[in-house]
């Protein structure tokens, strides 16, 4: 649904935006915690990260775009 073509009150749009930012913030925190855990394991020689730098960049870009206009 295109918000510009529907009769959605501004307060609802603001709530959706805030909820989205909060969810992205929580995902970012979880992502950072996971990366720290993976780095600890790599330092100990247990495992190696299978996530590419481009995946990290994409997540960081999404967080910046949605929550820091």
Higher confidence at residue 23 or residue 52? Answer: 23
- Interval 29-50 mean pLDDT: 74
Higher confidence at residue 23 or residue 58? Answer: 23
Q: Report d(CA 3, CA 9) in Å as an integer.
A: 9
pLDDT for 49 beyond 60: no
Q: Give the pLDDT of residue 20.
A: 93
Positive/negative CA dihedral, 58, 60, 63, 68: negative
Name the percent of the chain lying above pLDDT 90: 22
Q: Give the pLDDT of residue 39.
A: 82
Higher confidence at residue 33 or residue 5? Answer: 33
């Amino acid at each position: 649904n295109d918000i510009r073509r529907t009769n959605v009150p501004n307060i609802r749009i603001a709530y959706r935006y805030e909820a989205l930012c909060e969810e992205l913030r929580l995902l970012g925190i979880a992502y950072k915690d996971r990366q720290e855990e993976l780095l600890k394991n790599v330092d100990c020689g247990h495992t190696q990260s299978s996530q590419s730098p481009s995946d990290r960049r994409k997540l960081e870009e999404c967080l910046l775009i949605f929550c820091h206009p």
